[in-house]
């Protein structure tokens, strides 16, 4: 992990970094702001591939985020070698992302599935809405929101441990 005084670095991971991971990044940033945790965090997102490098979020994701009251910011990028050393927590949208991130060098104990933090989840992945309609993006937002309290709790614990408080 980073230094005891540095921010806790969290990165959200999906395939192309235009739908799920930028939505998770924006939703988490807002929930962290409401919880007063934003100053302690460095929040980012990335894709397992760089197909959309430099693009903004998918317009359907932007529409769903704004409709739910969130910002819709971000620029797509692929994971870089430095990400594996510089981040404290890798939050993946599905199991294929977990496999890829671990295979590329992230410590397994720092790689989690987003839905692991939703106590009422019916399954453990956030489905990719890219090839579907608007309803898939609304469902994605609901799944991400349902995971936020649990994820914030995990991050609080990690920050306390990082600072020697746990």
Q: Which residues participate in catalysis according to the annotation?
A: 14, 20, 128
Retrieve residue 14's tokens. 């999906």
Residues 15 and 48: their CA atoms lie apart, in Å, by: 5
Q: Which residues lie across from 56 on neighbouring strands?
A: none
For residue 12, give the H/E element and its range.
strand 8-14
């Amino acid at each position: 992990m980073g230094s005891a005084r540095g921010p806790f670095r969290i990165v959200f991971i999906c395939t192309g970094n235009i739908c799920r991971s930028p939505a998770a990044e924006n939703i988490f940033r807002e929930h962290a702001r409401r919880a007063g945790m934003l100053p302690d965090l460095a929040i980012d997102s990335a894709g397992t591939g760089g197909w959309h490098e430099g693009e903004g979020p998918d317009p359907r994701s932007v529409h769903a985020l704004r409709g739910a009251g969130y910002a819709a910011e971000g620029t797509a990028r692929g994971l870089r070698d430095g990400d594996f050393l510089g981040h404290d927590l890798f939050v993946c949208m599905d199991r294929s992302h977990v496999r890829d991130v671990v295979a590329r060098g992230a410590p397994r104990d720092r790689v989690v599935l987003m839905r692991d933090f939703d106590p009422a989840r019916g399954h453990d992945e956030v489905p990719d809405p890219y090839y579907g309609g608007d309803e898939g993006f609304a469902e994605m937002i609901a799944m991400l929101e349902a995971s936020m309290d649990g994820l914030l709790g995990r991050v609080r614990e990690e920050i306390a441990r990082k600072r020697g408080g746990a």
